[in-house]
């Protein structure tokens, strides 16, 4: 049984379909990244998974329990940890008061260990907390009862780089212990570091779902070429060349910039062995092949103007 199963999960607000027949499963023990730009519907999905809002059609199961049935979902919640995108705590209370309340309802077998790791200022009142401190306290509340599944909405917002790293290491260790992690993000470097698989959502629809390394493979390479003499642009007329930008540098006034280049940059998703022979006769000054930033791949999913 999967940790999370979406079965045509839909939330139709009339003027906008926030989630449109989402269908996928998160396997036990994996770290699943749920990606999309702001307003894509990530938080809507998460809030339906936890029963805060009800689907207009379709349903989902978390730890085998139907999210539309409050009673059965409550059973699942004993084994679920949740961190909201803006964790809200009672401003008048101290961190310790908040943790005590959570402990009284769901248990706190890992509280001390988590406090040592993330160190929110528990003796201070919540109203004095920075966004990062509130997030650290939220992480402790999400994991303190040793859940089997954690659902995290933009978990690293507001954390400093050191804490991000610590949190990433922590999540990997949790996966080793068999914990399932479902988290939403628009931070791609984070996803690349952490996730086993990624689902991408845009305008409420699932665009793709695949292992993160496949996504990286598909993301291709960024290739930069500088040549001593102009090269005809049609050399690069082959499959897998995207976003080609060319220019002619000074000193080659005879060359027509619309048909030739001395400098170019493009994203390449094709076979490198098909590309290099085409440049074999040209004298290159520089050739750089770099991994494409995931942001570009991401843009391609959002932008919709390119085929991916």
Partner 1 sequence: MFEIARYEGRNRLKGSVYLSVGMALLAALVIWVYPSFSDALGGDELLEAYPQEMLQLFRIETMASLEGFLAFELYTFGWIILLGLYLAYAAAGAIADDVDRGRMDTLLAMPISRARLVAEKFAALSVPILVVNLLTPPAILLGARLIDEPLSVADVLAAHLLSIPFLFACAGIGLLCSVAFDRVGIAQRVALGVTFALFLLESLLAGTDYEELGAIAPMRYYDPNEILLESTYDLVGVVVLVAMTVVLVGVSQLVFRRSDL
Does residue number 45 form part of the binding site for partner 1 (CB under 8 A)?
no
* Residue from the set 5, 32, 67, 77 that interacts with partner 1 by CB under 8 A: 77
Return the range that interacts with partner 1 (CB under 8 A); candidates 2-10, 73-81, 168-176, 216-224. 73-81
Return the range that interacts with partner 1 (CB under 8 A); candidates 99-107, 160-168, 181-189, 287-295. 99-107
Tell me how far, at minimum, the Cβ of 208 lies from partner 1, in Å.
Answer: 28
Does residue number 2 form part of the binding site for partner 1 (CB under 8 A)?
no
Helix, strand, coil distribution of the chain in percent, nearest 5: 35, 30, 35
Q: Which is nearer to partner 1, 13 or 189 (CB)?
A: 13
Q: Which is nearer to partner 1, 106 or 242 (CB)?
A: 106
The SS3 call for residue 213 is helix
The helix (run of H) or strand (run of E) holding residue 194 is: helix 188-194
- Separation between Cα atoms, residue 237 and residue 245, nearest integer Å: 13
Please give the distance of CA 14 from its chain centroid, rounded to a whole number: 28
Tell me how far, at minimum, the Cβ of 112 lies from partner 1, in Å.
Answer: 20
* Residue from the set 23, 39, 74, 249 that interacts with partner 1 by CB under 8 A: 74
Does residue number 71 form part of the binding site for partner 1 (CB under 8 A)?
yes
Tell me how far, at minimum, the Cβ of 4 lies from partner 1, in Å.
Answer: 15
Residues between 146 and 185 that touch partner 1 (CB under 8 A): none
Q: Which is nearer to partner 1, 78 or 124 (CB)?
A: 78
Strands (E), the chain: 4-12, 17-26, 31-35, 57-62, 65-66, 80-83, 149-153, 180-185, 197-202, 205-211, 221-232, 241-247, 260-268, 284-291
Does residue number 38 form part of the binding site for partner 1 (CB under 8 A)?
no
The SS3 call for residue 257 is coil
Give phi and psi for 49, each to the nearest 5: -60, -30
Tell me how far, at minimum, the Cβ of 90 lies from partner 1, in Å.
Answer: 7
Q: Which is nearer to partner 1, 141 or 184 (CB)?
A: 141
* Residue from the set 16, 57, 64, 90 that interacts with partner 1 by CB under 8 A: 90
Return the range that interacts with partner 1 (CB under 8 A); candidates 21-29, 98-106, 109-117, 213-221. 98-106
Does residue number 51 form part of the binding site for partner 1 (CB under 8 A)?
yes
Does residue number 53 form part of the binding site for partner 1 (CB under 8 A)?
yes
If we measure between CA atoms, which residue out of 78, 286, 287, 29 comes closest to residue 176? 29
Tell me how far, at minimum, the Cβ of 81 lies from partner 1, in Å.
Answer: 8
The SS3 call for residue 101 is helix
The helix (run of H) or strand (run of E) holding residue 295 is: helix 294-303
Does residue number 87 form part of the binding site for partner 1 (CB under 8 A)?
yes
To the nearest 10°, report the CA torsion of 227, 229, 235, 237.
70
Contact 261, 299 (CB under 8 A): no
The answer for 63, left when phi > 0, alpha when psi is -120 to 50, beta otherwise, is left
Binding residues (CB under 8 A) for partner 1: these are: 47, 50-54, 70-71, 74-75, 77-78, 80-82, 84, 86-90, 92-93, 97, 101-102, 104-106, 138, 141
């Amino acid at each position: 049984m999967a940790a999370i199963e979406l079965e045509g999960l839909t939330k139709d607000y009339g003027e906008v379909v926030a989630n449109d027949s989402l269908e996928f499963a998160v396997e036990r023990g994996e770290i699943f990244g749920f990606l999309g730009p702001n307003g894509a519907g990530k938080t809507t999905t998460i809030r339906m998974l936890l029963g805060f809002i009800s689907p207009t059609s379709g349903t989902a199961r978390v730890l085998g329990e139907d999210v539309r049935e409050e009673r059965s979902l409550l059973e699942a919640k004993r084994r679920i940890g949740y961190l909201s995108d803006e964790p809200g705590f009672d401003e008048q209370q101290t961190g310790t008061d908040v943790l005590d309340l959570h402990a009284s309802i769901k248990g706190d077998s890992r509280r001390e260990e988590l406090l040592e790791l993330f160190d929110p200022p528990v003796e201070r009142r919540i109203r004095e907390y920075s966004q990062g401190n509130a997030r650290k306290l939220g992480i402790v509340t999400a994991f303190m009862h040793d859940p089997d599944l954690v659902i995290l909405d933009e978990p690293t917002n507001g954390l400093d780089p050191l804490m991000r790293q610590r949190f990433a290491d922590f999540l990997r260790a949790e996966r080793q212990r068999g914990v399932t992690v479902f988290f939403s993000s628009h931070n791609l470097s984070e996803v690349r570091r952490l996730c086993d698989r990624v689902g991408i959502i845009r305008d409420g629809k699932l665009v793709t779902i695949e292992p993160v390394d496949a996504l990286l493979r598909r993301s291709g390479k960024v290739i930069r070429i500088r040549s001593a003499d102009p090269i005809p642009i049609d050399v690069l007329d082959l499959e897998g060349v995207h976003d080609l930008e060319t220019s002619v540098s000074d000193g080659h006034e005879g060359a027509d910039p619309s048909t030739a280049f001395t400098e170019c940059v493009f994203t390449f998703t094709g076979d490198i062995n098909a590309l290099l022979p085409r440049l074999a006769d040209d004298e290159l000054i520089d050739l750089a092949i770099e991994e494409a930033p995931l942001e570009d791949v991401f843009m391609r999913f959002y932008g919709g103007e390119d085929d991916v």
